[in-house]
Amino acid sequence: MQTGQFLTIQDLSAATAISLNVAIPVYASLGISTSVLPTALLSTQTEAFGKPAAIDLKDWVARTVAHWYHASMTFSGIAVGYVGTPALVDMVDQFIQQSAVSTVTIDPVMGDHGKLYEGFDESYVTKMKTLIKQADVLTPNWTEAQLLVGDDPQPEMSESRVRDVLARLTGQLNDKSLGVITGIQRNSVLEVWWQTAGGAILHVENPLLDQHFYGAGDLFTAILSGLIELSWDADAAVKKTSELLAVAIKETMHSNRELRFGMALHNVIHELSKLDDRF
């Protein structure tokens, strides 16, 4: 059961079902009372519509955090997604350090398909390497995981390579943290790998589809952080999150919407609303 107000920190994309537009309904369907701290306002997501109209909310974020502090607002957990600038990463890092929360989930959104997203450079990666030290749950995709351990992203996804990157990644976290790598494509399946609290490395598989589903990573992190907030066992939470992501991907694939508009959520929201608080 949730014990306080949850906070999600990420961008708001006006026209697409990604980021906050995915996270808010997920948390609501799980019965989690949620506050939001938008890091940027974007006209669309950044990958498939050309350069979006954007507003950097750094100054507003600073005033908001100061107001919350003076109002004695506290949060039970925090989930961080797309932040956007090195300066904002520093602000988020400082805010988390000053917040007494039970769990911090960080999705280090900065790249995919072997490269950084447009507008990001090595300075952003450096800041993100510092921020992830605050993570109790970390959910990079394969590209981001390699960047975080200091490797140039390579397409190779052999089992030995994945195990090596995952071990080095979790080595940057505290002993009880959950490190998860998404988007691993091997042997015609899509895999999620994670390291358990006991040190075992596990993975789950879903069918590999020849499409790119915008917002899938945001949805994965929202579901996983929500289940962790509700005190689900970490391994069970990763497995259930992967299962539910497959539900959303299937609905999105068979809908009439353009994939660039993000995830279809009706079926996954229905499934989430039926879950018990604890596994």
Query: What are the tens digits of pLDDT across the range 205-215?
Result: 988 888 889 99
Q: Please report which residue ranges of the chain form alpha helices under DSSP H.
A: 20-29, 58-70, 86-97, 122-131, 142-148, 159-170, 216-229, 234-254, 266-273
Query: What are the tens digits of pLDDT across the range 219-228?
Result: 999 999 999 9
Instruction: Look at residues 41, 42, 89, 98 and name the one whose alpha carbon lies nearest to residue 66.
Output: 98
The pair of structure tokens assigned to 143 is 């590209």
The pLDDT score that the predictor gives to residue 277 is 57
pTM value is 0.95
Taking residues 35-44, what's their average pLDDT? 96
**Taking 90 as the threshold, does the pLDDT of residue 198 lie above it?**
no
The pLDDT score that the predictor gives to residue 2 is 58
Mean pLDDT, the chain, integer: 93
Taking residues 88-94, what's their average pLDDT? 97
The pLDDT score that the predictor gives to residue 257 is 86
